[in-house]
Amino acid sequence: MTSPSFLNDKNLYEQDFYLWTQTITQQLKKNNFNEIDIPNLIEKIESMGRS
- Global pTM value: 0.71
Does residue 1 lie within any of the structural domains? no
- Give the domain extent around 27: 9-50
Q: Confidence band (pLDDT; 50, 70, 90) for 9?
A: low
Cα distances from 29 to residues 24, 32, 33, 36, in angstroms, run 9, 8, 9, 11
Dump pLDDT digits (tens) for 13-37. 889 999 999 999 999 999 999 999 9
Q: Number of structural domains, the chain?
A: 1
Does residue 36 lie within any of the structural domains? yes
What's the pLDDT at 2? 53
Does residue 3 lie within any of the structural domains? no
Does residue 40 lie within any of the structural domains? yes
Query: Taking the CB of residue 34, how many other CB atoms lie within 10 A of it?
Result: 7
